[in-house]
Amino acid sequence: MAEITIKVEGTVVNTNTDNLVEVSETPDGVNFVLKGGLSVNFMDPYMPSSAKQIIKNTADHMKGKKLIFEPANPKRPAMISGE
């Protein structure tokens, strides 16, 4: 089963892709909504819209793959892992 990793500084959230309900852009960042009512809200008022779109599009179109999200990294906010 594929998994999702969300990394922000020293905090890491791991879950499988089936638990991801949606990723949405917010005016001040991006919000990951997981099953069971858990929500991970990354807030950065200066986050570029392009980084938000990369995160959202990766989550929406790469189901079943191992995904790593680092929203604080503007150069690579989302990555598909080959592992």
Q: Is the pLDDT of residue 82 over 90?
A: no
- β-pairing, 20-26 with 66-69? unpaired
Binning pLDDT at 50, 70 and 90, where does residue 3 land? very high
Distance CA 32, CA 83 (A): 22
Collapsing DSSP to helix, strand or coil, 8 comes out as strand
Digit-coded pLDDT (tens) for 4-46: 999 999 999 999 999 999 999 999 999 999 999 999 999 999 9
- Report the alpha-carbon distance of residue 49 to residue 51 in Å, rounded: 5
Alpha helices in 1-83 (DSSP H): 49-61
Q: How far is CA 80 from the centre of its chain?
A: 11
Task: Give the model's pLDDT for residue 83.
Answer: 59
Q: What is the structure's pLDDT at 1?
A: 66
